[in-house]
């Protein structure tokens, strides 16, 4: 059976993402993107350190209601994933130190000899998140070039393109407005459920590898 024009373009986008370094990519019906009020609530309960501070996190992004309405205008979603290995012992770590470490975007300034395997794993995790962010941008741009002008990309977790966001009350503009993308969780997307719906589930809590998921919507 011959593929339709749209099916060919979606297949091309999948191949493009893999060629750019995606671990996995899968196209699926946009109505299977799961939106849940509880996900958005977790931005505030407990309070995420990025809430109200990072320009691509709540309350500086589309509300869940706005995003849900926007989602109805799209027919296809592409789930794009990157991964990083876990070599350290996660269960033996100081949870408070890990939370403080993860709260700072970008890679740590500590040198390799000064870090435990766990914190090297966390650095790799952050680098994988940044790779995903750039990959989502590239797939979104490619989709636009294929005739989808309203292609829309979202990333997993907070934006890590800058070591420190200018913050909402600084009066300064985003340093990378054309590269920055909002968080999937910030608009209420249940990333785990959406990944299951797309056929690309991941383990949580992670034990051997950390999977980062991003989304590109095409109409």
Q: What is the pLDDT of residues 93-148, one digit of tens each?
A: 555 555 565 556 555 555 555 457 767 777 888 889 999 999 999 999 999 999 99
Half-sphere exposure at residue 70, Cβ-oriented, CA atoms within 13 angstroms: 18
Mean pLDDT of 141-159: 96
Provide the domain limits for residue 23.
5-218
pLDDT of residue 104: 61
Is the pLDDT at 48 greater than 80? The verdict is yes
Stretch 63-76: mean pLDDT, rounded? 98
Chain segment 173-182, per-residue pLDDT in tens: 999 999 999 9
Q: What is the number of domains present in the chain?
A: 1
The answer to whether the CB of 116 falls within 8 A of the CB of 101 is no
Where does the pLDDT of residue 6 fall: very low under 50, low under 70, confident under 90, or very high at 90 and above?
A: very high
Per-residue confidence at 153, pLDDT binned at 50, 70, 90?
very high
Phi/psi of residue 116, nearest 5 degrees: -75, 170
117-145 and 5-19 helices cross at what angle (nearest 10)? 150
Summarize pLDDT for 20-44 with one digit per residue, the tens.
999 999 999 999 999 999 999 999 9
Whole-model pTM? 0.87
Q: C-alpha dihedral over 126, 128, 131, 137, to 10 degrees?
A: -90
For 167, left (φ over 0), alpha (ψ -120 to 50), or beta? left
């Amino acid at each position: 059976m011959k593929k339709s024009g749209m099916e060919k373009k979606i297949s091309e986008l999948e191949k493009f993402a893999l060629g750019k370094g995606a671990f996995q990519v899968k196209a699926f019906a946009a109505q299977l993107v799961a939106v849940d009020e509880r996900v958005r609530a977790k931005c505030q309960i407990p309070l995420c350190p990025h809430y109200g501070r990072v320009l691509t996190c709540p309350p500086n992004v589309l509300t869940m209601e706005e995003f849900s309405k926007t989602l109805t205008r799209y027919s296809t979603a592409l789930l794009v994933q990157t991964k990083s290995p876990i070599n350290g012992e996660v269960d033996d770590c100081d949870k408070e130190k890990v939370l403080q470490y993860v709260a700072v975007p970008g890679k740590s300034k500590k040198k390799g000899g000064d870090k435990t395997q766990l914190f090297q794993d966390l650095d790799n995790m952050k680098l994988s998140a940044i790779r995903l962010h750039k990959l989502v941008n590239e797939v979104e741009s490619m989709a636009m070039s294929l005739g989808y002008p309203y292609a829309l990309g979202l990333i997993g977790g907070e934006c890590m393109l800058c070591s420190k966001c200018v913050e909402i009350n600084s009066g300064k503009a985003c340093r990378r407005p054309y590269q920055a993308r909002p968080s999937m969780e910030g608009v209420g997307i249940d990333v785990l459920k959406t990944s299951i719906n797309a056929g690309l589930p991941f383990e949580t809590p992670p034990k051997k590898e950390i999977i980062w998921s991003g989304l590109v919507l095409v109409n």
